[in-house]
Amino acid sequence: MFEFIGMILTSFNRTWIVSDSRIEVSVKDAAKRGSLVNMKNSQNGVKNTLKFRLATGSSLELEEFRAVSIKKLLYVWDDVSQSFIKLAGLDKGVSTAELHGYNGFDTHQQFLRQVVYGNNEIIAPVESILKLLLLEIFTPFYIFLIFTLCVWMCENYYYYTVAIIIMTVFGVSSSILQTRTNQKNLHDTIASAAMVNIYRGEDSYEEVPSTTLVPGDIIIIPSQGCEISCDAVLLNGNCIVNESMLTGSDWPAGSSVLGPVRPQISRICALGPKSPSLLGVGDVQQQGVIGARRQRERNHTSSMIRLAVSRGCNWSGECVPVTKTPIPCQAAIMFDSREDAPHTLFCGTKVIQTRTHGSTLVKAVVIRTGYMTAKGSLVRSILYPPPADFKFDQDSYKFIGVLAIIAAIGLIYTVIMKSEKGISPGDIAIKALDIITIVIPPALPAAMTVGKLYAQNRLKALNIFCMNSRVINVCGSLNCVCFDKTGTLTEDGLDMWGVIPIESSQFKSPLRDVSQLSLGPLLFGMVSCHSNTIIDNKVSGDPLDIKMFESTRWILEEPEFTDTSRYGIHVSSVVRPPQSSLEHNTE
Same-domain pairing of 390 and 463: yes
Domain boundary, last residue among 39, 59, 88:
88
| Residue 445: inside a domain | yes
| Residue 247: inside a domain | no
Same-domain pairing of 15 and 84: yes
In 174-243 the beta strands, taken as DSSP E runs, fall at 195-201, 204-209, 218-221, 226-227, 231-234, 238-242
| Residue 449: inside a domain | yes
**Region of poorest pLDDT, from 138-152, 316-330, 520-534, 563-577:** 316-330
Task: Find, among 443, 444, 471, 446, the residue nearest to 456 by Cα.
Answer: 471
Which tens digit of pLDDT belongs to each residue from 457-498? 888 888 777 766 767 777 767 778 776 665 555 565 677 888
Active-site residue 484, yes or no?
yes
| Residue 313: inside a domain | no
**Which residues sit opposite 232 in a β-bridge?**
345, 366
Which tens digit of pLDDT belongs to each residue from 505-515? 888 889 888 88
Q: Is the pLDDT of residue 247 over 70?
A: no
Domain boundary, last residue among 25, 58, 88:
88
Phi, psi torsion values for 363, nearest 5 degrees: -115, 150
- Average model confidence (pLDDT) across the chain: 71
| Residue 505: inside a domain | no
pLDDT at residue number 287: 29
**Which residues sit opposite 73 in a β-bridge?**
70
pLDDT at residue number 313: 42
* Structural domain containing residue 15: 2-88
Is residue 347 within 8 Å of 231, Cβ to Cβ?
yes
| Residue 565: inside a domain | no
Q: Residue 5's CB: how many other CB atoms inside 10 A?
A: 10
Same-domain pairing of 10 and 81: yes
Is residue 313 within 8 Å of 247, Cβ to Cβ?
yes
**If pLDDT is split at 50, 70 and 90, which confidence band does 256 have?**
low
- Distance, in Å, from the CA atom of 393 to the CA atom of 21, rounded to the nearest integer, reads 52
**If pLDDT is split at 50, 70 and 90, which confidence band does 24 have?**
very low
Which tens digit of pLDDT belongs to each residue from 206-225? 889 988 999 989 898 887 77
Catalytic residue among 389, 484, 495, 536: 484
Q: In sequence order, which residues have a C-beta less than 8 Å from that of residue 500 and are 6 or more positions away?
A: 507, 508, 509, 510, 511
| Residue 481: inside a domain | no
Q: Is the pLDDT of residue 561 over 60?
A: no
pLDDT at residue number 257: 56
| Residue 272: inside a domain | no
Task: Find, among 45, 96, 499, 471, the residue nearest to 259 by Cα.
Answer: 96
Task: Find, among 254, 269, 310, the residue nearest to 568 by Cα.
Answer: 254
Domain boundary, last residue among 426, 452, 467:
467
- Distance, in Å, from the CA atom of 382 to the CA atom of 125, rounded to the nearest integer, reads 11
**If pLDDT is split at 50, 70 and 90, which confidence band does 422 have?**
confident
Instruction: For 221-236, give one letter per residue: b (16+ CB within 10 A) or e.
Output: bebebbebbbbbbbbb
pLDDT at residue number 283: 34
Task: Find, among 154, 143, 142, the residue nearest to 429 by Cα.
Answer: 154
Q: How far is CA 213 from the centre of its chain?
A: 19
Domains of the chain: total:
2
